[in-house]
Amino acid sequence: MFKVNCVTLTLFSFLVLCVAGTAGAAEMSKEDAHMKMHHLHVMMNKGVLLATEGSNLLMLSKTDMLPSVDDMMDRHGSEMISQSRPLIQRTMSAPVIMELHSKKYINDPLLHYTEQLGVAMIEAVDSLEKMIMSSTSADAKKMSHLQTLLNHALEMAAEGSNLAILGQMGKTGEVMDTYSIKLGNQMMINAKMLLSTTLQGKTMQDLHASGSTPASDQMMRNVHSFAEAALKVIDMLITMPPMH
C-alpha cells in the first residue's frame, strides 16, 4: 500500500507540474510577446544588411578598379544577397510567430506590423537581386555610385532601428537606453533624407537629362525600383510601434 501511495503521489506531483507549466506557457505577457517580436525585427534588419552590403560588393566588383580581387568581391557579394532572403523568410516563419498566432496576440498591431515589414523587406531584396551593372560606361558607374548611396541609406535605417530596439528593451540603464533610442531614431530620419537627396540630386538629374531614364535604361529602372522599395522599409522602420 505504501508503495502505491508513493507512486500515486509521484504521478500527482508530475501532473501538477505539467499543468502549472502549461498554464505558465499560456500566460505570455504582452511585454514578453513584444520582446520576442522585437528580436525578430533585429534578425530581419540583419537580413536587409546582408543584401545591401552584398550589393555594395557587387557594384564595386563591376567597376574594374581592382581586377585581382573583383572575382572574390563578386562571389562574396552574390552569396550575401542570396543569404538575405532566406534569413528574412525563416525569421517570418519562426516557431515564435506560430506561437503568437495561436495566442491572444493574433490581432496585436505589432504582430501585423512585423508581417508587413517582412513583406516590404523581401521586396527590397528582390530589387537588389535584379540590380546588374551591364557595362562600365561613365553613366553606369555613376548609377553604381548612386545605388551604393541608396544601399547605405537603407543600412543606416536598419542599424538605427536596431539601436532603437535595444534601447526599448531597457537593459542598459535609463541614460544609455534613452541615448540608444534617440540615436537610432535620428539615424532612421537621416537615412530617409539621404535617400531623398540621392534621388533628387544633381547627378540623378543629369543622368536623366542625358537619356538614362527609368523608361529607357534597365539599370536606372532598377535603381528607382529599389529606391521605392527601400523608402517603404525605411518609413516602416521609422513608425515601428514601440514595445509596451
Residue 8 within a domain: no
pLDDT digits (tens, 9 = 90+) for 30-88: 778 888 888 999 999 999 999 999 999 988 887 777 788 888 998 999 999 999 999 99
Residue 170 within a domain: yes
Residue 213 within a domain: yes
Domain that holds residue 92: 30-238
Q: For the chain, what is the domain count?
A: 1
pLDDT-derived band of residue 5, with 50, 70 and 90 as boundaries?
low
Query: Mean pLDDT throughout 149-159?
Result: 97
Q: Is the pLDDT of residue 27 over 90?
A: no
Residue 10 within a domain: no
Q: Is the pLDDT of residue 132 over 90?
A: no
The C-alpha angle 229, 235, 237, rounded to 5 degrees, equals: 105
What's the CA dihedral at 51, 237, 174, 30 to 10 degrees?
Answer: -110
Residue 77 within a domain: yes
Could you tell me the CATH number of the domain that includes residue 187? 1.20.58
Q: Which residues contact residue 52 at a Cβ distance below 8 angstroms, ignoring those fewer than 6 apart?
A: 128, 151, 152, 154, 155, 158
Residue 156 within a domain: yes
What whole-number distance in Å separates Cα of residue 195 and Cα of residue 177?
27
pLDDT digits (tens, 9 = 90+) for 98-113: 888 877 777 788 888 9
Give the N- to C-terminal CA distance of the chain in Å, as an integer.
Answer: 54
pLDDT digits (tens, 9 = 90+) for 171-205: 778 889 999 999 999 999 999 999 999 999 999 99
Q: Is the pLDDT of residue 149 over 90?
A: yes
Residue 148 within a domain: yes
Residue 243 within a domain: no
pTM here? 0.84
pLDDT at 189: 98
